[in-house]
A and B are shown apart, each in its own frame.
Chain A
């Protein structure tokens, strides 16, 4: 049965993988972790990567399609929240951001967003060694892993 552990195992099997984890970006909660983490504290790493993931997932700059629908304000609802009624529209289907890549002096961090069918905010974090890792391969495989994690 595919699950968080199977997903982490596969991520760790990638060449140059040093650490992997599944993290919730709203709260910074680590849902599962494998291998090492940069500071030696997996929970602190989860909280820090979550901040970055949240910024990427939330800022309008990275979700241009969603911003267009903001003009669509419904007439009927005369509540204070009326200005925000455009919320769930067509452009919001699918994640606006697929992944975030950070290149460091010694390696890479790939944060790959997971789309679930219920409301959630989860991504997979892979820490890759700069010398032995293959960023292009890792990015493709992470996308597949993110899809498989929820389809199961």
Chain B
């Protein structure tokens, strides 16, 4: 479907051990010395949602951590040091949120890519991961979705539950998800409500659709709003600096 690499620019930045923020159409990846330390996407619930949705962390506790430690970029550290969240728990939660956001940020429909050197995220570093590992995981996830149920339409449509066939069992986590399927909520909305990563919800919905427990809408999936044409990404994803310099020089010479 697509090439081996999700983002040549990301791999190049990793190679030069860059620090900063890689801004893409569907999300942002934060690098520290070439390793990915944080990711954000409007499509994926953040650590705050994952921790507060189930009542694990009161919203005020999260706000306090942001107020006290946000300015020095150590919110994660503060949550652990103040005893709000265990160290291992924070790692599990943060890694889950990071790979989730990265999956959407590195989506093929993404538009222009820019990198802002020196930018760090206020959450702070928890457990850095190599850019290559994030790329591999993102590709694996795309393939996994299609291997389970190759109908993209279920990813964005409102989830409509279907009654189980006689003798068909519905598992614990599936029940939680289906209880939220009121015919208007999309998989993303359900992810937010349950405090689960968005990819996990997409995957569960595809599994449910494959089992006939969720409707599969007919026709092609809706285009995500605000996406620029793919040729923009194709160019800006991998700017050929040498070529641009030659062009500039040639232009200057003719003037």
Complex contacts, B203 vs chain A, CB 8 Å: 26-27
Number of interface residues of B (CB under 8 A): 49
Which one of B93, B174, B194 contacts A58 once the chains associate, using CB atoms below 8 Å? B174
A-contact 0/1 string along B167-204, CB 8 Å cutoff: 00111111110111111000000000011110110011
Asked if A118 contacts B50 (CB within 8 A), the reply is: yes
| Cβ B160 vs Cβ A120 within 8 A | no
Query: Does A80 lie within 8 Å of B181, measured CB to CB?
Result: yes
Question: A3 to B91, Cβ gap below 8 A?
Answer: yes
Contact: B161 with A31, CB < 8 Å?
no
Within 8 A of A (CB), among B120-163: 127, 133, 136-137, 140-141, 144, 160-161, 163
CB of B80 closer than 8 Å to a CB of A: yes
Are B88 and A3 interface neighbours, CB within 8 A? yes
Interface of B is mostly: helix
A86 CA to B91 CA in the complex, in Å?
Answer: 31
The answer to the question of B51 belonging to the interface, with a C-beta cut-off of 8 Å to chain A, is yes
Question: Does B137 lie within 8 Å of A29, measured CB to CB?
Answer: yes
A20 within 8 A of B: no
Report if A83-B163 is in contact (Cβ < 8 Å); known contacts: A26-B200, A58-B171.
yes
Interface residues of chain B, those whose CB is within 8 Å of chain A, are 50-51, 53-54, 56-57, 80, 86-89, 91-93, 95-96, 99, 127, 133, 136-137, 140-141, 144, 160-161, 163, 169-176, 178-183, 194-197, 199-200, 203-204
Q: Can you list 25 pairs linking A and B with CB atoms under 8 Å apart? A: A1-B80, A3-B87, A3-B91, A3-B127, A7-B88, A27-B141, A27-B144, A28-B140, A29-B99, A58-B174, A60-B169, A60-B171, A63-B172, A80-B160, A80-B182, A80-B183, A84-B178, A85-B179, A87-B179, A88-B176, A118-B93, A119-B196, A121-B173, A149-B88, A149-B92
Closest 5 CB pairs of A and B: A152-B86, A149-B88, A58-B171, A152-B87, A118-B56
Beyond A81-B182, A118-B54, A148-B88, 9 additional pairs, beta carbon < 8 A: A3-B127, A28-B140, A43-B137, A58-B173, A63-B172, A81-B179, A96-B172, A152-B87, A152-B89
